[in-house]
């Protein structure tokens, strides 16, 4: 490519990069999620059709967010390259393109569910900085964009290299500074009360004696994380409140101290994501500490379950996310919680600090609202939650599943004594049996770890004499009602994956 056009295009790229980075710093100071890249990214998440989102989750897993951010930056810089390239010919078109880009970012920011009053500012700064920078950087001698007739193929001057390189370095430094500002500091801490009626420690027997199986309790740091937030909300507990409202006799609102003063219970509950593929990682078990949702709804005057399947509780998070839970699931005996503690500590920021919903027996997308701030009793036909609008099921009952944790799929093993093991779950119904099949052999019953309660997964293992060759190992579970897990393969959308987990191993001596 002609060096003059390349220089002009590069000017556009570094000018836009500097504008975006400056906006990131301003956003860090006024409203982090209004940063142009993050605001556009969030709008893209919300607008992405469900099949595309499912494909992205299946393909990239939890790397989908960095990949999204990278794509937003890439597209922005490509358009900025165009703005730079046309500038020598048409400064007006160039400036207009940059302003349109910034305006789109500003719109993305102010159209978020919970915008702040200064959310337009970062995009405004981006526009001013990018346009001014491009004006300074642009070659003004009209030498770029040569026509076929009169082009002495230009070259890039030393001065330009220094100016472009310097601006690029400044953009990276500024962007890094903004990012550091956003993530600086530690999350606020809460002094959690103890449970009013503490749970005894789990019996050792919930864990079976076989290495390689997921620990019964998932450490907070290894607990899967799924949400739509590009920046996990950092909630200041002093500014936080929980409202219980809607079709209740007397709605109310609580501050964090009032919530923490209520009787607290502890419960061991396995939480999993509807987007988990068969054999997938989006599941974990924790000891949650919190206030029963039943107590909160009773305080609002709902002392009895109307048993009306048309009623939902629409819960809202501080970032405007909405999740829909059947009212009965928050009133019945399963013991749903507004949780404030997870495995002996306050909720980590990524898992919903300071308070979240945890509903046993339901997938997270219909029962586990993080950064919870509002519970509204309403009818399903009066308000639609985020995922309901995107075609996901309203009945989010967890489907029976078993997963092989060891040996790992595709592994090579030595022949001889080994163990096949993993976890199985059917929250609400419990696990009654787990069976394993090697190749075409008959099903064999695995040994189960103790059942902590029906809302937790169960570990299982089966000793195996591995013989040389390639083997397919399949597992299936039977729930506490005697229903055998279906082998019919279903994708996670719209109500959770089904099918048996199968792995292949090679045994070589």
Ligand X SMILES: Nc1nc2c(c(=O)[nH]1)N[C@H]1C(S)=C(S)[C@@H](COP(=O)(O)O)O[C@H]1N2
The residues binding Mo ion (CB under 5 A) are 226, 273, 364-365
* Phi, psi of 447, deg, nearest 5: -80, 135
Residues 408-467 binding ligand X (CB under 6 A) are: none
Identify the residue whose tokens are 């789109």.
104
Identify the residue whose tokens are 């985020």.
386
Q: For ligand X, which is the closer residue by CB, 82 or 226?
A: 226
Q: Is 223 in the site for ligand X (CB under 6 A)?
A: yes
Q: For Mo ion, which is the closer residue by CB, 386 or 461?
A: 386
Q: For ligand X, which is the closer residue by CB, 164 or 357?
A: 357
Q: For ligand X, which is the closer residue by CB, 14 or 271?
A: 271
Out of 371, 392, 425, 464, the residue judged to bind ligand X by CB under 6 A? 371
Q: For ligand X, which is the closer residue by CB, 139 or 341?
A: 341
Q: How far is the CB of 277 from Mo ion (least distance, A)?
A: 12
Closest listed residue to residue 22, CA positions, set 139, 100, 133: 133
Out of 13, 368, 377, 462, the residue judged to bind ligand X by CB under 6 A? 368
Q: Could you tell me where the beta strands, DSSP code E, fall in 151-309?
A: 241-246, 252-255, 265-272, 283-292
Q: Is 321 in the site for ligand X (CB under 6 A)?
A: yes
Closest listed residue to residue 227, CA positions, set 318, 296, 103: 318
Q: For Mo ion, which is the closer residue by CB, 220 or 228?
A: 228
Identify the residue whose tokens are 């420690």.
201
SS3 content of the chain, % helix, strand, coil (to 5): 35, 25, 40
DSSP 59-74: HHGGGHHHHHHHHHHH
Q: Is 273 in the site for ligand X (CB under 6 A)?
A: yes
Q: How far is the CB of 63 from Mo ion (least distance, A)?
A: 17
- Number of residues engaging ligand X in binding (CB under 6 A): 17
CB 67 within 8 A of CB 85: no
Q: Which stretch binds ligand X (CB under 6 A): 224-232, 236-244, 296-304, 397-405?
A: 224-232
CA 318/CA 334 separation, integer angstroms: 26
Out of 370, 399, 429, 501, the residue judged to bind ligand X by CB under 6 A? 370
Out of 46, 119, 160, 227, the residue judged to bind ligand X by CB under 6 A? 227
Q: Which does 369 bind (CB under 5 to 8 A by kind): Mo ion, ligand X, none?
A: ligand X
448 in helix, strand or coil? Answer: strand
Q: Where are the alpha helices (DSSP H) in 233-378?
A: 256-260, 293-299, 327-331
375 in helix, strand or coil? Answer: strand
CB 41 within 8 A of CB 69: yes
Out of 143, 228, 394, 474, the residue judged to bind ligand X by CB under 6 A? 228
Using CB positions, name the residue nearest to Mo ion: 273
Out of 41, 341, 361, 364, the residue judged to bind ligand X by CB under 6 A? 364
Q: Is 351 in the site for ligand X (CB under 6 A)?
A: yes
* Cα-based distances in Å from 215 to 117, 201, 229, 443: 46, 15, 28, 25
Q: Is 225 in the site for ligand X (CB under 6 A)?
A: yes
Q: Which stretch binds ligand X (CB under 6 A): 45-53, 168-176, 302-310, 364-372?
A: 364-372
Q: Is 317 in the site for ligand X (CB under 6 A)?
A: yes
Convert 414-448 to b/e letters by CB count within 10 Å (16 or more is b).
eeeebbbbbbbbbbbbbbbbbbbbbeeeeeeebeb
Q: Which stretch binds ligand X (CB under 6 A): 148-156, 217-225, 430-438, 458-466?
A: 217-225
Using CB positions, name the residue nearest to ligand X: 364
75 in helix, strand or coil? Answer: helix
CA 7/CA 4 separation, integer angstroms: 5
Q: Is 240 in the site for ligand X (CB under 6 A)?
A: no
CB 129 within 8 A of CB 16: no
CA 423/CA 501 separation, integer angstroms: 11
Q: For Mo ion, which is the closer residue by CB, 30 or 56?
A: 56
Q: For ligand X, which is the closer residue by CB, 99 or 350?
A: 350
CB 51 within 8 A of CB 250: no
Q: How far is the CB of 259 from ligand X (least distance, A)?
A: 17
CA 444/CA 462 separation, integer angstroms: 8
Q: Which stretch binds ligand X (CB under 6 A): 291-299, 361-369, 441-449, 490-498?
A: 361-369
Q: Which does 368 bind (CB under 5 to 8 A by kind): ligand X, Mo ion, none?
A: ligand X
Out of 12, 81, 105, 224, the residue judged to bind ligand X by CB under 6 A? 224
Q: How far is the CB of 343 from ligand X (least distance, A)?
A: 12
Positions touching ligand X (CB under 6 A) are: 223-228, 271, 273, 317, 321, 351, 364-365, 368-371
């Amino acid at each position: 490519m002609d060096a003059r056009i390349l220089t002009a295009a590069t000017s556009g790229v570094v000018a836009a990069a500097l504008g975006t980075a400056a906006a990131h710093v301003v956003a860090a100071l006024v409203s982090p999620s209004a940063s142009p890249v993050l605001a556009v990214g969030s709008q893209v998440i919300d607008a992405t059709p469900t099949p595309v989102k499912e494909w992205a989750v299946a393909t990239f897993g939890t790397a989908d967010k960095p990949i999204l951010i990278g794509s937003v930056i890439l597209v922005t810089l490509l358009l900025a390259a165009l703005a730079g390239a046309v500038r020598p010919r048409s400064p007006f078109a160039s400036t207009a393109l940059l302003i349109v880009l910034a305006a789109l970012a500003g719109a993305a920011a102010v159209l978020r569910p919970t915008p702040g009053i200064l959310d337009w500012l970062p995009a405004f700064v981006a526009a001013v900085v990018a346009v001014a920078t491009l004006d300074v950087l642009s070659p003004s001698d009209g030498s770029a964009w040569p026509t076929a007739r009169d082009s002495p193929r230009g070259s890039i001057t030393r001065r330009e290299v220094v100016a472009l390189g310097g601006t690029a370095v400044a953009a990276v430094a500024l962007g890094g500074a903004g990012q550091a500002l956003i993530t600086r500091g530690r999350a606020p801490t809460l002094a959690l009360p103890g449970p009013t009626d503490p749970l005894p420690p789990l019996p050792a027997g919930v864990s079976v004696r076989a290495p390689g199986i997921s620990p019964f309790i998932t450490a907070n740091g290894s607990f899967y994380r799924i949400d739509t937030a590009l920046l996990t909300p950092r909630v200041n507990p002093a500014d936080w409140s929980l409202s219980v409202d809607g079709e209740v006799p007397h709605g109310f609102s609580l501050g964090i101290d009032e919530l923490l003063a209520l009787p607290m219970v502890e419960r061991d509950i396995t939480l999993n994501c509807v987007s988990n593929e068969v054999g997938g990682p989006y599941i974990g078990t924790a000891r949650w500490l919190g206030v029963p949702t039943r107590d909160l709804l009773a305080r609002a005057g709902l002392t009895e379950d109307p048993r009306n399947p048309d009623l939902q509780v629409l819960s809202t998070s501080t970032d405007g996310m909405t999740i829909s839970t059947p009212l009965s699931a928050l009133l019945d005996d399963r013991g749903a919680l507004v949780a404030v503690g997870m495995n002996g500590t306050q909720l980590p920021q990524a898992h919903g600090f300071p308070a979240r919903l945890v509903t046993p027996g339901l997938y997270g997308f219909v029962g586990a609202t993080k950064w919870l701030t509002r519970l509204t009793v309403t009818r399903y036909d009066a308000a639609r939650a985020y995922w309901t609008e995107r075609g996901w099921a309203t009945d989010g009952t967890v489907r029976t599943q078993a997963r092989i944790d060891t040996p790992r799929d595709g592994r090579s093993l030595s022949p001889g004594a080994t163990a096949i093991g993993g976890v199985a779950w059917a929250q609400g119904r419990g696990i009654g049996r787990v069976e394993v099949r090697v190749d075409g052999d008959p099903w064999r019953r695995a040994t189960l770890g103790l059942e902590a309660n029906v809302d937790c997964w169960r570990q299982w293992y089966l000793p195996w004499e591995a013989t040389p060759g390639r083997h397919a190992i399949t597992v299936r579970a039977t729930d506490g009602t005697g229903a055998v897990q279906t082998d019919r393969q279903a994708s996670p959308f719209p109500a959770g994956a089904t099918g048996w987990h199968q792995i292949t191993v090679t045994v070589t001596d």
